[in-house]
A and B are shown apart, each in its own frame.
Chain A
Amino acid sequence: MEPKKRVRTSNRVRLLAVVVASSSIVLAACGSSSTAKSSSTSPSGSATSGTITWWASPIAQVGIRQTLINAFEKAYPKIHVNLVSAPTNTGTNRSQVVAQISGGSTTPDVFMGDVIWPAQFGAHGLAVPLSNYLPSSYWAKFAPGLVAGAEYKGKVYGSPLFEDQGFLYYRKDLLAKAHLPVPKTWEQLKQESLTLVHDHLVKYGFVWQGNSYEGLTCDFMEYLTSAGGKVTNAAYTKAYLDSPQAIQAVSFMRSLITSGASPAAVTTMEEPQAMATFDAGDAAFLRNWDYAWANSQTPSDSKVVGKVGVAPLPTFSGHSYPGYSTIGGWNLYINPHSKHIATDLTFIKWMSSVQAQTILGKKYSEIPTVESVRKAIAAQASAPPPEKVAAVTRLIARPAGTPNYPALSTAIYTNINAALNGSTSVKSALASAESQANTALSGGL
């Protein structure tokens, strides 16, 4: 028992040290370190050596991250990039990044994060304000709206890596058989779905993401915006979810299910379920992101190879076509504790270079964020169809300019999901969404 006693004492001493150390972290005033760093680091980020850690969840196709790293290391042979694979669930991914950075970890240096993170990460000091280092000329090259989406209180926190947005995927063969055009309004989409289902050409009409989760907020934004509605005011102090436009949007979404144009199962569908149903040849229309193209054209995943078309999302009749697509995609952020900010910047700048963006867009059919690359690829005949369509769509960002966006979105998707599955009326669901959204905007539960 003697050695155990010794261990105990030394552990106690260590624990004491830990408690002291961590309480000093707890009590440390915040906000000083990043500004201190900004003055000491070369603003242009011209470092050409060192080792940095890049935290990124898997991108749709296997090998993208490593291909990018290899190309980068070829351009900067003295920089080594360590890839750490992040969880694929975006919420879990965020919680891990937050735990590491708020815990004082100097790694990861650069992390790939969702486009809806900037306000929250900026407000909590969990990301470096990149606009302190990178001049406005750097930001000018990105496609419109992307940089604005990465801003919080006048500073840009994320450098757009690749963009994503909603598309309408349809079965060319079925539409041809039934002599139907590609739908341009939501009403037309519903009608064509019903026709195809009634004629037994297909099992289900239109599948989309109706489960109680972030994806439903994305889908809802598309209906709401094409109905002319908004979620909040510009200052993010007041939610407008009980509006006539929101009622029109959600009533329509509900009517897709009640009419039979969409299966009842859409209220439990996320991207994978909707995709699988479409790939199995069981649905005529699919609302999904960019990856769905490649997925539907992979023979090992899909029975509808060669039968799929891509179009912009429809709008409500009486509004101009095309409708709106919700912006998704990923940005690169820097950990405020990173010891290699100059090297991090070199990496981030290279990731928005023509070379990197072309790899993303051409080799892996992700939508580039740099406007010139995007246009160049879309102009080529061989470009993946979604990238061609992306050149003509209209985009809408989620109301993520507030640090309370996650709670706001929860208020939206939980209540709308309840309306979609019929457990509450559309009207009362939206009234409850509005009151919960207002609580969320003020920082409440």
Chain B
Amino acid sequence: MKFQTHTGLKKWVNLLNTSVVLIVLFVALPLYWLIASSFKTNVGIGASPPQYFPDPLSIANYQSAFVHYDFGIYFRNSLIVAIAATFLVLAIGSLAGYALARLPIRGKTAIMVILLMISLFPEIAVVSPLYLVMHNLGWIDSYQVLIIPYTAFNLPFAIWIMRNYFLGIPREMEESARVDGASPLRTYWSIILPQALPGIFTAGIFTFTACWTEFLMALTFDNSNSFRTIPVGIALFGSPNVIPYGTIFAASVVAVVPIGILVFVFRRFVVSGLTSGAVKG
């Protein structure tokens, strides 16, 4: 705390540093194992005692992912599907979240509960009927066959979470905008949205990762290699009796890169809250 005595501050900083180290270890050690194993040979993977450092260091798994399997195509498809769905979810979900937080709509409670019910229904139960719908629309083997369901199934959570953050924005700012004669859309765009960026970023990152990792629909609705996404592609690695851990890990190391870039590029939205004021609680 800024306002603490010097001794208190010191203690706190130490506690903070210790916690950061612990968190990093907890998160990073399994990731180290993932990355290290992706550079092992098949013999190295099965070695006992395990190789704490790959010996020999091999990039064969990475080559195999891109050469033997069409990982490049899967990667492109995942990007297209996840970016499109995230964009749609944020565009229409933030409007809805704002309306459900602030604008007078009848039956808000009912709408929120229904959205909750939709997001809790198990995916395995909806995938077969949804296949019938998509098949009849002629959408099987396309991008929209994933973009539209991903948008729909991620909207409830995104609306809930963005609405939560909209509710936290002080009402006075809108009031004064309204007094100045700004339209609701303008108020939303220039007053609310900038304030809510951390919340929108959170919703966006969760939507993106959900689309990026979704397996069952992607597997069922796209059977052509030119539309398959990363999770499906990885399920085609190996053969029924062989799990190529190394290749799978290599692919997943590559698959995580865009998420890291995304967070890094947009991190100022998360950091912005901090720079605008003092440290809290």
Contact = CB atoms under 8 A, between A and B. Distances in A.
Contacts of A291: 239, 241-242
B7 interface: no
B232 to A, nearest CB: 8
A439 interface: no
Interface stretch (B43-51, B161-169, B171-179): B43-51
A99 B240 contact: no
Contact of A271 (B48, B236, B242): B242
A99 B241 contact: no
Interface string B119-157: 000000001110111011100100000000000000000
A142 interface: no
A314 to B, nearest CB: 22
Given A96-B219, A99-B127, A289-B241, A301 B235 contact: no
Nearest to A330: B240
Given A99-B220, A105-B135, A279-B46, A88 B225 contact: no
Contact of B235 (A14, A25, A84, A92): A92
B224 interface: yes
A301 B42 contact: yes
Interface string B203-233: 0000000000000000110011100000010
Contacts of B238: 58, 88
Contact of A14 (B42, B45, B137, B237): B137
Contacts of A102: 128
Given A279-B43, A280-B47, A103 B128 contact: yes
Nearest to B236: A85
Contact of A272 (B41, B68, B129, B243): B243
Nearest to B135: A103
A58 B236 contact: yes
Contacts of B219: 87, 92, 96
B268 to A, nearest CB: 32
Chain B interface bracket (under 10, 10 to 19, 20 to 34, 35 or more): 20 to 34
Contacts of B232: 87
Nearest to B243: A272
Nearest to B237: A88
A203 B48 contact: yes
B131 A99 contact: yes
Contacts of B140: 105
Given A271-B242, A301-B43, A22 B132 contact: yes
A87 to B, nearest CB: 4
A88 B239 contact: yes
Contacts of B127: 99
B57 to A, nearest CB: 14
A303 interface: yes
Nearest to B124: A95
Contacts of A279: 42-43, 46
A57 B243 CA distance: 13
A137 interface: no
Contacts of B132: 22, 25-26, 103-104
A279 B239 CA distance: 17
Nearest to B70: A85
B236 A88 contact: yes
A300 interface: yes
B42 A57 contact: no
A187 interface: no
Given A88-B236, A88-B239, A300-B41, A99 B133 contact: no
A86 B240 CA distance: 10
Interface in A63-113: 84-90, 92, 96, 99-100, 102-105, 107-108
B281 to A, nearest CB: 42
Contacts of B136: 17-18, 21-22, 25
Contacts of B243: 272
Contacts of A99: 127-128, 131, 220
Contact of B43 (A96, A275, A303): A303
A379 interface: no
Contacts of A302: 43
A92 B239 CA distance: 13
Of listed A58, A105, A295, residue having the most chain B CB within 10 A: A58
Contacts of A277: 46, 48
A104 B133 CA distance: 11
A302 B45 CA distance: 11
A287 to B, nearest CB: 12
B34 to A, nearest CB: 17
Given A18-B137, A96-B219, A96-B220, A57 B48 contact: no
B238 to A, nearest CB: 5
A371 interface: no
Interface of A: 14, 17-18, 21-22, 25-26, 55, 57-62, 84-90, 92, 96, 99-100, 102-105, 107-108, 203, 271-272, 275-277, 279-280, 282, 288-289, 291, 295, 300-303
Query: What 6 pairs between A and B have smallest CB-CB spacing?
Result: A276-B46, A271-B241, A22-B132, A272-B243, A301-B42, A21-B136
24 contacts: A14-B137, A21-B136, A22-B129, A22-B132, A85-B236, A87-B219, A87-B235, A88-B236, A88-B238, A88-B242, A90-B240, A92-B235, A96-B223, A105-B140, A203-B48, A271-B241, A271-B242, A272-B243, A279-B43, A280-B47, A295-B242, A300-B60, A302-B43, A303-B43
Given A103-B128, A291-B242, 16 more contacts: A14-B137, A22-B133, A22-B136, A25-B132, A57-B239, A58-B240, A96-B223, A99-B220, A102-B128, A103-B131, A272-B241, A272-B243, A277-B48, A300-B41, A300-B43, A302-B43
